[in-house]
Chains A and B, each alone.
Chain A
Amino acid sequence: MTKQYALYFDSSSCTGCKACQIACKDKNNLEVGVLWRRVYSVTGGDWVSTGNAWTSQAFAYELSISCNHCQDPLCVHVCPTTAMHKRDDGIVLVDASKCIGCKYCEWVCPYGAPQYDPSKGKMTKCNLCEDYLAEGGNPACVDACVMRALDFGELSELQAKYGTVDNIFPLPLGSTTQPALVITPHKDARRTQYESAKITNMEEI
């Protein structure tokens, strides 16, 4: 089997502190507005009237997502210049020298991974901290997580360790692009299937 690096995220233990997001910005020196890793705050449910009382049945959980380095990456397929490419180890990268900044990858990616940098006129994205990996280290986000909610490794190994869930609300079904992502869902994530839920921090993303 070919190599496929992947990320793991434990939604049940994430507090939404965004240390991962900031570590990523710091490590990669990202411009304001460019987020290679994004933390989505999801809320749903409501106050329910029972007898004379109102009881809160609201729920909330966090979802930290970068690029999932998909096994079938649509961004790579649609890129008109092959700037967006998938390496042998599974990492999806942008070759800046080829990128014309057409933003087509940004349109088609259902994870918001390609992040356009207007100051460069180029698309940028998570590179899994490939330089750290080369030295035997972890991606900056993984090491920064105070809750140990992030992990990194070979996809098959992560799946053996944590299961095969690769989507919870608001992520799409994994069948479209085969994301190299493993999630431990928050206990209330399944409630989004039959209750209304939304991302409440859109202005941060």
Chain B
Amino acid sequence: MSVHAWPLIAFTILAQMSVGMFVVLGIVHYFVVNKYSIAEADQMSSYALLAIGPALVLGLLASLIHLGTPYIAFLAVTNLATSWLSWEILLGVLFAILGGIFAIMQWRKIGSFALRNVVAWLAAIDGIGLVYVMSRIYRQPTIPSWNTTLTTISFYTTALLLGVVGVGAAFVAGYAYLKRQNPDCTQELCMVLQQTMRGISISAIVLLGVEFVVFPVYLSYLANSSATAAIAASMTGIFSPIFVTRLALAFLGAGLLAVYLYRTSLSAERVQVMGYVSYAVFGLVLISEVLGRFLFYASYISIGV
């Protein structure tokens, strides 16, 4: 497994992060529109939106590296009748298209607010479906270590956690850019940023809690069956350095630093520090999730030979 899985690690992480960021951005946008104005909300979210597209396209390109014959990759959507993998590619590409259309409509202000909303909803629903379909690919009766709803739960948790911290980092980057462009515009935006960051840090801590419930449940799931006991042993044996690092980084990023992020978001003087912390949280969580996905692929075991 190991080396061959890297394109898939990149693809699944990037695609899930894109879906998570899109959904989280939608939620944040909704709150900002209600509390402030559409102008503020649009200003902030348009930069975050810019980060999602390339991440997804990069992920889709990475998935091509996994293929032996990438130039006929388009054929991958031709078995929708029985293959979850066909659905993954269909929904993945559709998400890219819908998200791209929405982003262009949003930037150029094409169509009414309501119409753009419809496109955004379609993209979000597609994305949520995509994460589910991705998880179903791995839930196969001959692969006991993956054949559990925990696979689906952990994929959604990854999507949301990366989405939350990704939007945080993107907002900070967008805010820094806006501030350079026009130093006067920062007052309201600064408040939007701070408030968003509070929501983001709390969400990250909650999602970390979910992950820390899922880990032990998954380990005991593996340990409790003779078919997968060897995998549980490898997670606490040969892979334990990676496993421990993954947990430590998640705790550091989405736990300790998220608390610090919340505290820095309370005062306007510390916006700069808050920005750095937000980047750090994103970096740590991203590495942690990549390691987690590596372990997921490393946990492959067949019921046969």
B69 at the interface (CB under 8 A from A): yes
> In the bound complex, how far is the Cα of B68 from the Cα of A123, in angstroms?
8
User: Given contacts A100-B75, A102-B67, A176-B141, are A80 and B305 in contact (CB under 8 A)?
Assistant: no
| Interface residues in B51-90 (C-beta closer than 8 Å to A) | 66-70, 72-73, 75-79, 82-86, 89
B242 at the interface (CB under 8 A from A): no
Stretch from A54-62, A106-114, A138-146, A158-166 at the B interface: A106-114
> In the bound complex, how far is the Cα of B70 from the Cα of A102, in angstroms?
9
User: Given contacts A80-B85, A176-B142, are A100 and B304 in contact (CB under 8 A)?
Assistant: no
A98 touches B75 (CB 8 A): yes
> In the bound complex, how far is the Cα of B299 from the Cα of A6, in angstroms?
33
Give every chain A residue within 8 A of B304 (Cβ-Cβ).
109-112, 170-172
Give every chain B residue within 8 A of A82 (Cβ-Cβ).
78-79
Give every chain A residue within 8 A of B68 (Cβ-Cβ).
99-103, 116, 118, 120-123
> In the bound complex, how far is the Cα of B4 from the Cα of A81, in angstroms?
21
Majority secondary structure of chain A interface residues (helix, strand, loop or mixed) = loop
* Number of cross-chain contacts by CB at 8 Å: 106
Closest to B87 in A: A80
Specify which of A102, A121, A122 lies most central, judged by the most chain B CB atoms within 10 Å of its CB. A102
| Interface residues in A47-75 (C-beta closer than 8 Å to B) | 65, 74
Residue tally, chain A, CB below 8 Å to B: 39
Give every chain A residue within 8 A of B75 (Cβ-Cβ).
80-81, 83, 98, 100
A27 at the interface (CB under 8 A from B): no
User: Given contacts A100-B76, A101-B69, A122-B68, are A172 and B83 in contact (CB under 8 A)?
Assistant: no
User: Given contacts A108-B142, A110-B302, A116-B68, are A78 and B76 in contact (CB under 8 A)?
Assistant: no
B83 touches A77 (CB 8 A): yes
> In the bound complex, how far is the Cα of B143 from the Cα of A74, in angstroms?
11
> In the bound complex, how far is the Cα of B304 from the Cα of A199, in angstroms?
12
Give every chain B residue within 8 A of A110 (Cβ-Cβ).
142, 302-305
Q: How far is the CB of B227 from chain A (nearest CB, A)?
A: 9
Give every chain A residue within 8 A of B73 (Cβ-Cβ).
100
For A102, give its contact among B84, B85, B140, B143 (CB under 8 Å). Answer: B85
A-B contacts, 11 of them at CB < 8 A, read A78-B82, A80-B77, A98-B72, A100-B72, A100-B76, A102-B68, A102-B85, A110-B303, A118-B68, A122-B68, A172-B302
